[in-house]
Chain A
Amino acid sequence: MSYVEFERVSKYFGNAGGAPVLDALSLGVEKGEFVTLLGPSGCGKSTLLRCVAGLTEIDEGRVRLDGVDLTNMAPKKRNVGMVFQSYALFPNMTVYDNVAFGLKMKGMARAEIERTVKRMLEIIDMSEKSGQYPHRLSGGQQQRVALARSLAVQPKLMMMDEPLSALDAKIRKMLRVEIRRIQQELGMTTLFVTHDQEEALTMSDRICIMNQGRIEQTGTPEEIYARPKTAFVARFIGNYNVLSAEEMAVIGRTQSASAAGFEPEAYAIRPEAVRISAADDGSGDSPADAYSMDGTVSDCTSLGALLRYTVQVGNLSITTDELNAPASSRHAAGARVRLEVDRNACVPLQG
Chain B
Amino acid sequence: MLKSNKPRGRRSAGRFHRIVWAILIIYLVLPLVATLLYALAGNWQTTILPESWTLKWFQDLLHDSRFTEAFVRSIVVCGISLIVSTAVMVPTVIIVVLEFPKWEKVLNMLALIPYAVPGVVAAVGLIRLYSSGPLAISGTIWLLCGAYFVVVLPFMYQGIRNSLRSVNAVMLQDAAMLLGAGRWQAFRYVLLPNVMPGLTVSLLLSFAVLFGEFVLANLLVGGQYETIQIYLYRRQGESGHLSSAVSITYFVLVAIISGVMLRLGKRVLNAPSPADDDKPATGNKKGRGASPGTAAPGITLQGGQES
Which positions in A face B, CB cutoff 8 Å?
53-55, 75-76, 78, 80-82, 84, 86, 88, 90-94, 96-97, 100-102, 104-106, 110, 113-114, 127-128, 130-133, 135-136, 149-150, 153
Contacts and interface: CB of A to CB of B under 8 A. Distances in A.
B286 to A, nearest CB: 11
Contacts of A91: 167, 194, 272
Contacts of B182: 76
Contacts of B180: 76, 102, 105-106, 153
28 contacts: A53-B174, A75-B174, A76-B177, A76-B180, A76-B182, A81-B178, A82-B174, A82-B178, A84-B171, A90-B175, A90-B176, A92-B270, A94-B303, A97-B301, A97-B302, A97-B303, A101-B179, A101-B181, A101-B189, A102-B180, A105-B180, A131-B284, A131-B288, A132-B281, A132-B284, A133-B276, A136-B284, A153-B180
B167 A102 contact: no
B304 interface: yes
Interface string B170-208: 011011111111100100011001101000000000000
Identify the 7 closest CB pairs spanning chains A and B, nearest first.
Answer: A102-B179, A96-B303, A105-B180, A92-B193, A88-B175, A75-B177, A88-B171
A94 B177 CA distance: 19
A55 B269 CA distance: 27
B48 interface: no
Nearest to A83: B175
Contact of B304 (A54, A82, A105, A110): A110
Interface of B: 167-168, 171-172, 174-182, 185, 189-190, 193-194, 196, 269-272, 276-277, 281, 284-285, 288, 299, 301-307
B179 A93 contact: no
Given A84-B171, A88-B172, A92-B272, A105 B179 contact: yes
A14 B44 CA distance: 77
A293 B182 CA distance: 66
Given A76-B180, A91-B194, A92-B272, A131 B307 contact: yes
A93 B276 CA distance: 13
Given A90-B172, A131-B288, A149 B179 contact: yes
A136 B180 CA distance: 26
B284 A133 contact: yes
A130 B194 contact: no
Contacts of B190: 90, 92
Contacts of A81: 178-179
Contacts of B304: 96, 110, 113-114
